[in-house]
Amino acid sequence: MDQGSATTVEITFQPPARAHQPQHTPPVHERLLESVPASTAREMARDFAAYEAAPSEAEQHKLYTYRQVETDGSSGGEAMVALDFGEVVALQAANLQMAL
């Protein structure tokens, strides 16, 4: 894992409509993940792109576990993020060159 650099990952998601309110469009939510190792951010972005390109061939649910990177480059606390790519509308990692 690349502990030397960290980034912020912005995830925009929209949960599915509830069965008892099918005509109601659920609100869009955003979540910022800070201090994400660059390697984990790239993996999230690649997985999201793969799901968007071929939903039937890619994993819809993925759990990411990583150590947050402190501002001095040292390892911080452990974080776990579960993503359901069926609900993710957009996923962007700040300051990364993406080679998908």
Taking only the tens place, the pLDDT of each residue in 39-58 is 999 999 999 999 999 999 99
Residue 21 in any domain: the answer is no
Assigned token pair, 42: 């790239």
Q: Among 62, 61, 11, which residue's Cα sits nearest to residue 36?
A: 11
| pLDDT band of 99, cuts 50, 70, 90 | very low
Boundaries of domain holding 75? 6-16+27-93
Residue 31 in any domain: the answer is yes
Number of domains in the chain: 1
- Sign (positive/negative) of CA torsion 81, 59, 15, 11? positive
The type of residue at 56 is S
Residue 100 in any domain: the answer is no
67 versus 98: which is more confidently predicted?
Answer: 67
Residue 22 in any domain: the answer is no
